[in-house]
Structure 1
């Protein structure tokens, strides 16, 4: 039986209160998808609203010289044009072996507080199944808790989009919070990042409260690394 991974995308296409287009970030889906797909992993793509999950147009432009992302964008549109609604996954969550959250600024506005998403994270973590995310995707862990109400990532080493990177893309003033600050606060000052902004940093730790694997990547450069660690965690 091939392992099954639930891949979650944002449903937010504009930064609330602004006309700034956003969504999920192309290489952060393309690279892990390719790694998992090539290894025979089955994937279901879901989003809070279902249907088309918005791709951040700036990521298409930014990665137009990344052949893998370009090919993915051209040939795999069916994956994000018709996503399952997250709520419909809940009754069959037990069928999946891991959950992965793609980044982009969108998750900072919907998945961070989405009750269905938070319940799914708790379900996966309680079953000691890997929970993983890249770039802004780790925002999904900010409010995630154990069944007893403890922060899921308390005392867990974690990474995500850094303050320096957020300021360099000049979107820090549009964010509800800075992800690095919030992850640091919730984990108990255990946020780590690459030595240089935009460098690859992937962290594998346990959700110390429940003992399952927590896999986080800092930025677009870390997306492939998250895919590889997820593959390893699935024993493929």
Structure 2
């Protein structure tokens, strides 16, 4: 194991939502992975059940396959990490400088409840917590000092209009934009499928897959200051 500061990636283990085959959206895992590696951090992969992270089959179809996803699929080290994750309830947040939750519809299933303790632990330690697209589902049940973690915080996620655009609004258990607002978040968004990252203190969120790389850069920038 290297001496580099480590960032915990917390991914879904759910491969179904409604009638959809799903999992983690590969670009949202791959883009931040390469950004953080290039900036001197060690990404460590975990998932709610451990073992292999299910990848949303749509995210590896040619029309959706991002360049970072292509690189990731050919990267033996990265694929070994993806196929052999530690269960997230077996990690110690003290060993990491930040938490990142990639999206994909799967996290709508296990994010709110199963990732809640991990999110809360990082927040209580005043560490950076980041999530992209559907990843902020992991923030919706988390609390800090007896109130919702996102209350009064500027955040973004896949918007209602984007969920409708991709035709998944009837399959998801809730609309993420609505749930974040219900929990007191100040929701911000750019146009549909446009990259957009929101930084509010040590909470960093991205709107959609196109926001994955800029979110990784925002995390690296914030971490460079936080651990200086």
Structure-2-length-normalised TM-score? 0.93
Note if 1:203 corresponds to 2:192: no
Q: Which residue of 2 aligns with 1:119?
A: 117
Instruction: Kindly state the Cα deviation for residue 45 of structure 1 after the two structures are TM-superposed.
Output: 0.4
Q: Which residue of 1 aligns with 2:218?
A: 229
Q: Which residue of 2 aligns with 1:156?
A: 153
How many residues get paired? 220
Instruction: Kindly state the Cα deviation for residue 2 of structure 1 after the two structures are TM-superposed.
Output: 2.2
* In structure 2, distance between residues paired with 1:56 and 1:226: 20
CA deviation vs aligned residue, 1:104-149 (integer Å, no higher than 9, x gap): 00000011111xx212211111111000000000011110001x32
Note if 1:193 corresponds to 2:189: yes
* In structure 2, distance between residues paired with 1:68 and 1:138: 22
CA deviation vs aligned residue, 1:25-53 (integer Å, no higher than 9, x gap): 01101110010111221121000100011
Structure 2 segments unaligned to the other structure (5+ residues): none
Structure 1: which 4+ aligned runs deviate by more than 3 Å? none
Q: Any conservation in 2 of the 1:5–1:100 contact (CA below 8 Å)?
A: yes
Note if 1:144 corresponds to 2:142: yes
Q: Which residue of 1 aligns with 2:179?
A: 182
Instruction: Kindly state the Cα deviation for residue 159 of structure 1 after the two structures are TM-superposed.
Output: 0.1
* Matching of residues 1-236 of structure 1 within 5 Å: 1-16=3-18, 18=19, 20-61=20-61, 62-64=63-65, 66-75=66-75, 76-89=78-91, 92-114=92-114, 117-146=115-144, 148-188=145-185, 190-194=186-190, 196-206=191-201, 213-235=202-224
Q: Any conservation in 1 of the 2:89–2:118 contact (CA below 8 Å)?
A: no
Q: Any conservation in 2 of the 1:157–1:187 contact (CA below 8 Å)?
A: no
Secondary structure of the equivalent of 2:99? strand
* In structure 2, distance between residues paired with 1:96 and 1:27: 22
Secondary structure of the equivalent of 2:153? coil
Structure-1-length-normalised TM-score? 0.90
Considering only aligned residues, what root-mean-square deviation do their CA atoms show, in Å? 1.3
Q: Any conservation in 2 of the 1:159–1:193 contact (CA below 8 Å)?
A: yes
Q: Any conservation in 2 of the 1:45–1:84 contact (CA below 8 Å)?
A: yes
* In structure 1, distance between residues paired with 2:74 and 2:22: 19
Q: Which residue of 2 aligns with 1:209?
A: none
Q: Any conservation in 2 of the 1:202–1:218 contact (CA below 8 Å)?
A: yes
Q: Any conservation in 2 of the 1:3–1:234 contact (CA below 8 Å)?
A: no
Instruction: Kindly state the Cα deviation for residue 74 of structure 1 after the two structures are TM-superposed.
Output: 2.3
